[in-house]
Structure 1
Amino acid sequence: MTERDTANLEAIVLAAGASARFGGAKLLARLDGAPLVAGALLTAFLSPVRRVHVAVAGDAVRKVVRATAERLAASDRLTIVTVEDAAEGMGASLRAAARALPDDAVGTFVFLGDMPRIDPATVTTLARVLTSPHDIVAPTYLGRRGHPVLFGASWFPALRALSGDEGARVLLETAGARLTRVAVEDPGIHLDVDRPEDLARAVEGRA
């Protein structure tokens, strides 16, 4: 994808989960002196995208998202998407955020708000690999797929029709040859914080 095309990429950050396995308020837990969700937001804002669309369900996370964007001098690139039916699962959050994407976008990254250690260089690599609106690009580390995933614009209707708690997994499983896997040296693509012990791993710098 050319530099001109990457200017029409967008980013989605999913930050509306209930954090049940963590015991609640996961995205507000402290990491590196800031709320956990700030790590994902930092990578998203450092990505080659126009805007970052953050799906939220609660006021506390919404305030943190706004404050983080202000701290990064990126408020003009932030779109907050309120997920009214967040209890349905990740599919509802992704559906709501995808519906906020502009019509001229050529693709969108999907970040998870509980993945704070993704190297921004990984995201830039994925952007360069996307060559068709019909493709999906995902990073791998040690042979295992991780996040974020970059969806070409042809996948937007499918993202806007998702439901349940599986997110976009079904799309990845059925993409076939349209899914391009890119090997990267970035263990952060696997480090998601689901439980308190995962946060301890992130603090210690272990993937």
Structure 2
Amino acid sequence: MTTGAARKEASWSAIVLAAGAGRRFGGRKLLAPFGGGPLIEGALGAAFASPASTIILVTGSDAEEVAAVARAFAEREGQGARLRIVHAADHAEGMGASLRAGAEALPADTAGTFVLLGDMPKVPVAILPRLVEAMEAGAAAAAPVCGGRRGHPVLFGAELLDHLRQAAGDEGARTALAGLGPRLALVETNDDGVLFDVDRPEDLSPA
């Protein structure tokens, strides 16, 4: 069994899924303004605040523009060396395709990876170290819970990475979590930023 000390020495990663077309939004969702910058900057900011040494942004629709925004934001934040951008050519298949692309790009020594959704700009950074603590205590995966609802991001341990590499359709990572039972650590929080996502233009108000 991997000890907590060994996990601390290993490398955490983060995958930011930013490949969706945003059809319900009307397109170009991740480039829409939110909180003083493009929407995608919210999820990227949370990823940069995590202990992940490598941040993998997965693009699909509007790939060149999303990538350009991400690179510019990373450079402004002094985080350019941590950012890696991969393109999911088959992103139209669904979230599973984007997750596969991100998981296949993970460094070989990844102890676990956060999975963040590009349209969730209000993830509280305080939840991130708590997810890591749950993993170091022996969980196979960890996720925040607010008001009885499981939210994002989810932190997946090394033993689940092959499941992520086989994700399909719109199920995303659900199959990787199925059947874990108590090995999925649920971390309580009162911050509903772990639930907030942007589906339609009326969701853009940061209030």
TM-score range, shorter chain: over 0.9
Alignment equivalent of 2:81, drawn from 71, 76, 92: 76
In structure 2, C-alpha distance between the alignment counterparts of 1:133 and 1:85, rounded to whole Å: 35
Which residue does 2:116 correspond to in 1? 111
Query: 1:103 & 1:132 partners in 2: Cα distance?
Result: 22
User: RMSD in angstroms over aligned alpha carbons?
Assistant: 1.6
Structure 2 residue identity aligned to 1:18: A
Please tell me the residue identity of whatever aligns with 1:29: A
Which of residues 35, 47, 50 is equivalent to 2:50? Answer: 47
Which blocks of at least 5 consecutive residues in structure 2 are unaligned?
none
In the alignment, which residue of structure 1 is the partner of 2:190? Answer: 185
* Structure 2 counterpart of 1:124: 129
Give TM-score scaled by structure 1 length.
Answer: 0.92
1:144 and 2:161 matched: no
Contact 2:13 2:55 in 1 (8 A): yes
Q: TM-score, normalised by structure 2?
A: 0.92
Deviations 1:120-155 (A, max 9, x none): 111111111103776010000111110000000000
Distance change >3 Å, CA 137–CA 176, structure 1 → 2: same
SS of the residue 2:23 aligns to: coil
Check the 8 A contact 1:7/1:50 in 2, yes or no.
no
Of residues 92, 98, 120, the one that matches 1:93 is 98
Shift of 1:172: 2.2
Q: Is the 8 A contact 1:6 1:127 kept in 2?
A: no
Residues of 1 paired with 2:47 and 2:89: CA distance?
23
1:196 Cα deviation (Å)? Answer: 1.3
Q: Deviations over 1:18-74 (max 9, x none)?
A: 101100000000012100000110010011110100001211111111111111110
Does residue 59 of structure 2 align to residue 56 of structure 1? yes
Q: How many residue pairs are counted as aligned between the two chains?
A: 202
Identity across matched positions, percent: 50
Instruction: In structure 1, give the amino acid aligned to 2:26.
Output: G
